[in-house]
Amino acid sequence: MGNASAMLTQYDIEEVQDHCNYLFSQQEIVALYSRFCQLDRTAKGFISSDEFLSIPEFSLNPLSQRLLKMVDGLNFKDFVAFLSAFSPQATTQQKIEFIFKVYDADGKGRVTFKDLLEVLRDLTGSFMSEEQREKVLGQVLEEAGYSRESTLYFEDFMKILSKAGLKMEVEVPVD
């Protein structure tokens, strides 16, 4: 760290801010940049999976593999855009969009029973059997008016989750 190209100009900061829809302040973007440089040890311009996994708290998160697929190889601009869903300024819709993207791993715009099952498997590991997971999912889906065969789209997620009162905020430490 500390090489000449590690300095952000005002233009860079504004470009990044525009890309993340002004969800982070300029100070936060500078702080995120120093964090990005700290994680990107070999100054490649992106953070590799290995470098993400060297953060113990991230590594032991049950959803780390899913998130890794989303965040691996992103440059700084996209990295900030990725984290913008966690900004206190982000709307509920933006947060639900993020959650939808986590479920919709193949990016087709729809979430099937299989996708729901996969995320539940990540979250519960070996402490629930496959039958138990299917049973739980089937039950709650039916109670909400869906079935095992139904496909959930973003609008469905909005309907289900907007009442939930999502708390999904991260504070960027600004020196």
For residues 161 and 100, what is the distance between their CA atoms, to the nearest angstrom? 10
3-state class of 111 per DSSP? strand
Distance CA 148, CA 160 (A): 16
Note the residue count of the chain.
175
Is residue 81 a contact residue for other proteins (CB under 8 A)? no
Instruction: Kindly state whether residue 74 participates in binding other proteins, applying the rule CB under 8 A.
Output: no
Q: Distance (Å, rounded) from C-alpha 134 to C-alpha 136?
A: 6
- CA angle at 29 for the pair 58 and 91, rounded to the nearest 5°: 75
Supply φ then ψ for residue 120, to 5 degrees. Answer: -65, -35
Among 55, 109, 130, 147, binds other proteins (CB under 8 A): 55
**Contact between 114 and other proteins (CB under 8 A)?**
no
Please choose, out of 3-11, 14-22, 143-151, the segment that lies near other proteins by the rule CB under 8 A: 143-151
Q: Which three-class secondary structure state does DSSP give residue 113?
A: helix
**Residue 161 found at the interface with other proteins (CB under 8 A):** yes
* Closest CB to other proteins among residues 5, 42: 42
43 lies in the site for other proteins, by CB under 8 A:
no
Asked if 45 touches other proteins (CB under 8 A), the answer is no
Contact residues for other proteins (CB under 8 A)?
A: 2, 32, 35, 38-39, 41, 52-64, 67, 71, 83, 86, 88, 95, 98-99, 102-103, 116, 119-120, 123-128, 132, 135-137, 139-141, 143-144, 146, 157, 160-161, 163-164, 166-173, 175
